[in-house]
Structure 1
Amino acid sequence: LSLRRLIEAEGIPHTYVCCNGFAETYLPSIGDVTAVGADPPSDKITVLGDGDAKAVFVVEKDIATYTVRAVDDPRTLNKILYMRPPANIVSHNELISMWERKAGRTFQIVRIPEAGLLKLIKEAAFPLNILLSLALSIFIGGDQANFEIEPSFGVEATELYPDLKYTTIDEYLDRLL
């Protein structure tokens, strides 16, 4: 945050890109942060909290496409470019339901309450503690999608560029079958 304030204080033209959750990081494990980097689960999925907080997942190729488009766009100058594709804003419970329909089976859900996650964060070594801290913000706090974008300092990529097609979560999950 201090780097942002320094850039602004110096009057350096900028666009901050808030791309949210990398699909390639979270979706292969169906959002199970205890299994990031793993293949889709075969029997159980760990859910943080109640699983109802909304999260945003964007395929990295789409992040690049929107970022490149924004580079010379005066509408993004000195603003935050948020990437929140409407079809990609889902709760963990919704994501699991989507996967269960596609996979044709149900999964055992193991829930870790917020207090349990805070304990894991405290005990984890770097860099796992950072990943778990982000998971707290995303999957329990809902901090990617629990606010309206203030037009005076932010714009949403899919609204600015409706001509660009993004990969939906539904389409991404098809790749995992």
Structure 2
Amino acid sequence: KKGKKKKKQICRETEACVERFDHFCPWVGNVVGLRNHKYFVAFTIGASVVALEVFVSSILVGTSAKLSEELKAHERAMALILASYTAVIMLAVGGLMCYHADLIAQNESTNERLKGVFAVRANPYDEGVLTNCYNFWCLPTRKSYVSSDNKHDDVPLPLLPHGQP
């Protein structure tokens, strides 16, 4: 579709220009944008699956009649405490995963959602759930604008005060 501006923004935390800026994630210590958003979402999916597995396993260990003879009472109690802790983690990370699934389905970023960019007008980037999901997960990741050659790695960079070009 012609005439649509590319989504770019300067990250306040890193001062980097990020194409399709989503958010700065303190947990991974990086900006989430066009080139790494799918990996961030895959990370939340993986973390949710692991949390679910630990939760279910802990419940089974803590409540199993078969294991009750083999495990001491404090071991079963610890399994149930772990299940409680993991339930909180699972809800937090699972909620984040679902939130990003909704954003992907509407081709919207966290930044746009929090600012209410498309609350009062239609999202011109929304191409329907299936197309949005296909574009997010299946299109190849574009190469970086930043050169990855190592020709100048041995050249020291001048140290400038923060905020100067």
| TM-score category (smaller protein) | under 0.3
Higher percent of residues as helix: 2
Ranked by relative contact order (alpha carbons within 8 Å, sequence separation 6 or more), the top structure is 1
TM norm structure 1: 0.25
TM norm structure 2: 0.26
Higher percent of residues as strand: 1
